[in-house]
Copies of this chain bind each other. A is one copy, B any other.
């Protein structure tokens, strides 16, 4: 049962294929009587336009690719949701790619084996340097997300991690905490994201007049609760005694919560704790987690705006934008009393 074509409808309605096409697209100059006849034919035959043919003829696919490291990380799942929503609002659909946090797949994503699949790509790289990003990119418009440095030629939307981390430190300092540890930087080489958050952590400490003590930086367990739990547990058992913990992300915070609880340390009384990303679970665990939240809807919107400008033909230098963040203050590091 081959599917109904434009030409079938045209024959059925006694008009040319182009007229049917015009009706389908709501072109103005079609006589009402003709339009109706065509519409009846479409309904009777159950015609639906074929995306491939249309795409081949127009050069547009109305699809975007979104490449994130791993959908199982709630932050990326929520990001994918926001972007899908924003894309649909603009008449686009989303092709999903998981780069699995490996450089090979990231390169493959970028230099798409097949052309013509999507009109643009939104990509959150973890491994590729800006040089490689520039080099492997094919003609498709790209907008980058995340903290890796981006080539001058590409658009980039991100949050100001340094400022946010410093802000968190100040919040903890205002609670009277003085031994503020950092949990979750990858070892031996921290990701770019971790580096920026560490930088902000240090900046915050300095701004508060607190000493910067390398012993307070616990590595291991980014985006992985089990590993964060183990890493923090080992550090605590080895004698580390922080009174606050700035975690690289909410998953690490979840792990930290567990490691602290197992050792009888109360949150926030003994150790205040903050996360990052504001994943769903952060609100619901006990104690709920104070966390840095990027405005995902806004981020998705800006990323798509930039991407569509490129799709429409903008070909200038890369735009590099920051979108806002806010600290969601919850039980694990409450507001300072006054």
Task: Give every chain B residue within 8 A of A89 (Cβ-Cβ).
Answer: none
Number of A residues near B (Cβ < 8 Å) is 53
Min CB gap A263→B, angstroms: 11
Nearest neighbor of A66 in chain B, beta-carbon distance: B96
Is A115's CB within 8 Å of the partner chain B?
A: yes
Taking A96-B94, A98-B84, A112-B48 as contacts, is the C-beta distance between A71 and B63 under 8 angstroms? no
In chain A, residues 53-99, which have Cβ atoms closer than 8 Å to a Cβ of chain B?
53-56, 61, 63, 70-72, 74, 77-78, 80-81, 84-85, 93-98
Most chain B beta carbons < 10 A, residue from A1, A95, A225, A280: A280
Is A174's CB within 8 Å of the partner chain B?
A: no
Task: Give every chain B residue within 8 A of A55 (Cβ-Cβ).
Answer: 52
Min CB gap A322→B, angstroms: 24
**How would residues 84 to 127 of chain A score, 1 for a CB under 8 Å from any chain B CB and 0 otherwise?**
11000000011111100000000000001111110000000000
Q: How far is the CA of A77 from the CA of B73 in the complex (A)?
A: 8
Contact assessment for B115 and A3 in the assembled complex, using a CB-CB cutoff below 8 Å: yes
Task: Give every chain B residue within 8 A of A138 (Cβ-Cβ).
Answer: 48
Min CB gap A320→B, angstroms: 25
Min CB gap A82→B, angstroms: 9
Task: Give every chain B residue within 8 A of A281 (Cβ-Cβ).
Answer: 225, 254, 281, 285
Q: How far is the CA of A9 from the CA of B117 in the complex (A)?
A: 20
Q: How far is the CA of A116 from the CA of B63 in the complex (A)?
A: 13
Min CB gap A248→B, angstroms: 15
Total copies of the chain: 2
Min CB gap A100→B, angstroms: 9
Task: Give every chain B residue within 8 A of A81 (Cβ-Cβ).
Answer: 70-72, 98
Most chain B beta carbons < 10 A, residue from A93, A96, A283: A96
**How would residues 230 to 269 of chain A score, 1 for a CB under 8 Å from any chain B CB and 0 otherwise?**
0000000000000000000001001101100110000000
Is A211's CB within 8 Å of the partner chain B?
A: no
Task: Give every chain B residue within 8 A of A213 (Cβ-Cβ).
Answer: none
**How would residues 130 to 156 of chain A score, 1 for a CB under 8 Å from any chain B CB and 0 otherwise?**
000000001100000000000000000
Min CB gap A25→B, angstroms: 13
Is A50's CB within 8 Å of the partner chain B?
A: yes
Residue in B56, B70, B257, B280 whose CB lies within 8 Å of A53: B56
**Residue ranges of A at the interface with B (Cβ–Cβ < 8 Å):** 1, 3, 48-56, 61, 63, 70-72, 74, 77-78, 80-81, 84-85, 93-98, 112-117, 138-139, 225-226, 229, 251, 254-255, 257-258, 261-262, 280-281, 283-286
**Lowest 7 A-B CB distances belong to which pairs?**
A77-B77, A225-B284, A50-B116, A51-B114, A71-B81, A281-B281, A254-B284
